[in-house]
Structure 1
Amino acid sequence: MGKVTPFLMFQDGKAEEAMNYYISIIDDSEITSIVRYGANEAGDEGTVMQAAFSLKGQEFMCIDSNVKHQFSFTPSFSIYVTCNTEEEINTLYQKLIEGGQALMPIGDYGFSQRFGWLNDRFGVSWQLNLPS
């Protein structure tokens, strides 16, 4: 068996914008490869046929779907981030919530001193935790 990698399918040509946003707000992150659709190919020219990026060493793959689906992302699958400081969790939450939706605003939920769960502006779900 080869690697196991989380795979994100974006619609409406948002994959590259999302990757660039994520690597701009999370240190030690980068886009490692992008293959774009060319002229007369199955997807819109210039959109992401397949890309790879890493966030703090965790690799992800993504695409811009060339087919419009009746589904998108779900909070049932989320990116879980363990933060080191209160400032870090607050800053990351504020950046990710812009244009997004709070599922559990940052708070003390008993299982964690500081925890927040949200969907970002691209529909991707994030859980942010500051362990006690």
Structure 2
Amino acid sequence: MANIVPYINFAKNGQEAITFYKDVFGGDAEVQFENERVIHLDFQAGGIHFMGSDLQSDQAGLERGNGYSLVLNCDSEEQLRNFYAKLVDGGKEMFAPADSGWGAIIAHCTDQFGVTWLMNYDKP
């Protein structure tokens, strides 16, 4: 069954944030870096689960407190593509479904209500 996970964009201080959240909650963080920036974070501590990354470019409108999205973890690539097609209809495409660098199919859009969605399917 698909599930929703919060996604946090950090203002180029992702490593500092990861250290902070590990101190607060314990748990484990799967992290990938590129040029000293966090490009993929999957944090889990008991029932606490969120994903995130440092901003990879200058994304207009990011302010303290609004740098979040919802991650829709999907059961299959077909499910991801179906959800993406429905959510992007009337909204804004950020990037269409594509392979990631960490073994998943991912997509990104904003729906007609301004909610930002990141879709993820972890390939077997």
Normalising by structure 1, what TM-score? 0.43
Q: Specify the structure having the higher radius of gyration (Cα).
A: 1
Normalising by structure 2, what TM-score? 0.45
